[in-house]
Amino acid sequence: MKYERKVIDPEQIRRQEQICAEIFDVVTADGKRPLAMVDTYGCQQNEADSEKIRGYLAEMGYGFTQDEFQADVIVVNTCAVREHAEMRVLGNVGALNHSKKARPSQIVAVCGCMVQQEHMAEKIKKSYPVVDLVFGPHELWRFPELLQRVMRKGKRVFATEKNLGAVVEGIPQQREGKVKAWLSIMYGCNNFCTYCVVPYVRGRERSREPEQVVAEARELVAQGYKEITLLGQNVNSYGKDLDSEVDFADLIRMVNAIPGDFLIRFMTSHPKDATEKLFQTMAECEKCAHQLHLPVQAGNDRILKAMNRSYTREKYLQQVALARRYMPDLVLTTDIIVGFPGETEEEFADTLSLCEEVRYDAMFTFIYSKRVGTPAASMPDPYTRADKQKHFDALTELSNRISGEKHREYEGKTLRVLIDGETGREEYNLSSRTNGGRLVHLKGDPAWIGRFADVTITASNTWALYGEIGGNAE
């Protein structure tokens, strides 16, 4: 099916906000402030979606709680990338029986990628009567209307029809923090890696207009945000669906031109479309972090082909070398899947050797999880879970060793960091990130949160750096 870019009429969003006002009148009629809980699983895109759900809920008059027994509305925003996350969601949704028994008027909604899969929506319909409302990622923009339907009719509502997605502007957003912000620049994925469910649940790639992205970034800077992470399933194909000639590198330049002291990060990049122009732009734009998350997934060409990744090991290594030529201080991270159907001992050894060669600053490793409806689900998979676990452990060990070694190289150096929060621990009470995104624990005044500071690294381990602030934070 050919996808035609679809934009939701802003009038429709105004109508949703009108519905928020109607809900406000009903749920605050007794003079008390109702409470909502939003529980998010999965990736940053989902975090960004939850900020929109909270934005709508705030307009409806809800305050927020983390305690399901206090909540009048619970929204569980789910992930479908691996089975483990789905199991956790189902367990936690099942447990909401208790809070609903204690508070029978409680409304439970489940949304996001997991329920966009037909078999999961069915499962909830049949086996989870505690759930009142189910909606997929494509229906998020009309959450107020769906919630009002549940409230008025007292019946369960399911909105998970097949949909390739649209671009929506103007949904109110309630952001989690005051220092770092997510900014979605595009939605969906066209790549159809054979193991991945994302293209089936999040629809086709569609980009926001550059003017909209820049306006939102400008607003974030005006509000005092110090770090903006541009989000998309594959940011390197930004703009391909737009009439304008703007590509992702151009977009970085446009955001970089906004006056103010802030950092630009982005994720995720697909190696097949990362360009020299992008690396050059990252090197030239002073606000762009020298950080690249470039998922390789596997180090063996047969596996990469079976995954439909559209690059070879050689091509990937060339990309890394090119990126490092432009940015010798580049912090490079990756995702790797272990135990893809049929992956042999020798093929896995190629992943290990690639990682030794690249020396990632950090690696996110996953055991392959079979996803309904994807091509890999019907590939022969003769290896046992124990075989895969053995490979996973070997890779984790390698990853930890390299991260530890790389962290040790920071000791004695002075770096600029952004102080972004409190750790809750006495000795090192503040957390911060280097320009490349490495975690640095510090001791200092919580009033410094949101400021940049020069920090000397005094110690390190596999997961973090420890430092001392030289003088006051800016």
From 56, 195, 392, 410, residue interacting with ligand 5AD (rule: CB under 6 A): 195
Kindly state whether residue 432 participates in binding ligand SF4, applying the rule CB under 6 A.
no
Kindly state whether residue 441 participates in binding ligand SF4, applying the rule CB under 6 A.
no
From 78, 191, 351, 369, residue interacting with ligand 5AD (rule: CB under 6 A): 369
- Cα end-to-end distance, the chain, whole Å: 53
Instruction: Report the site for ligand 5AD in 63-102 (rule: CB under 6 A).
Output: 81-82
Instruction: Report the site for ligand SF4 in 241-280 (rule: CB under 6 A).
Output: 270
Residue 394, token pair as written in the block: 């070997």
Kindly state whether residue 371 participates in binding ligand SF4, applying the rule CB under 6 A.
no
Q: How far are the Cα atoms of 220, 263, 287, 326, 458 from residue 282, in angstroms, in the given order?
A: 21, 12, 9, 8, 29
Cα separation of 360 and 338, whole Å?
16
Part of the chain binding ligand SF4 (CB under 6 A), chosen from 12-20, 94-102, 123-131, 190-198: 190-198
Part of the chain binding ligand SF4 (CB under 6 A), chosen from 34-42, 101-109, 195-203, 215-223: 195-203
Part of the chain binding ligand 5AD (CB under 6 A), chosen from 151-159, 300-308, 361-369, 445-453: 361-369
Question: Do β-strands 362-367 and 331-338 pair in parallel, antiparallel, or remain unpaired?
Answer: parallel
Instruction: Report the site for ligand SF4 in 209-238 (rule: CB under 6 A).
Output: 233-234
Nearest to 268 by CA among 230, 214, 221: 230
Part of the chain binding ligand SF4 (CB under 6 A), chosen from 88-96, 191-199, 394-402, 424-432: 191-199
Cα separation of 185 and 231, whole Å?
6
Q: Which residue is nearest to ligand SF4 (CB)?
A: 196
Instruction: Report the site for ligand 5AD in 284-313 (rule: CB under 6 A).
Output: 295, 297
Nearest to 395 by CA among 278, 282, 299: 299
Residue 189 interacts with which of ligand 5AD, ligand SF4, none, CB < 5 to 8 Å by class:
ligand SF4
Nearest to 358 by CA among 330, 338, 391: 330
Residue 365 interacts with which of ligand 5AD, ligand SF4, none, CB < 5 to 8 Å by class:
none
Nearest to 149 by CA among 19, 15, 49, 61: 19
Cα separation of 127 and 370, whole Å?
22
Binding residues for ligand SF4, rule: CB under 6 A, are 189, 191-193, 196, 198-199, 233-234, 270
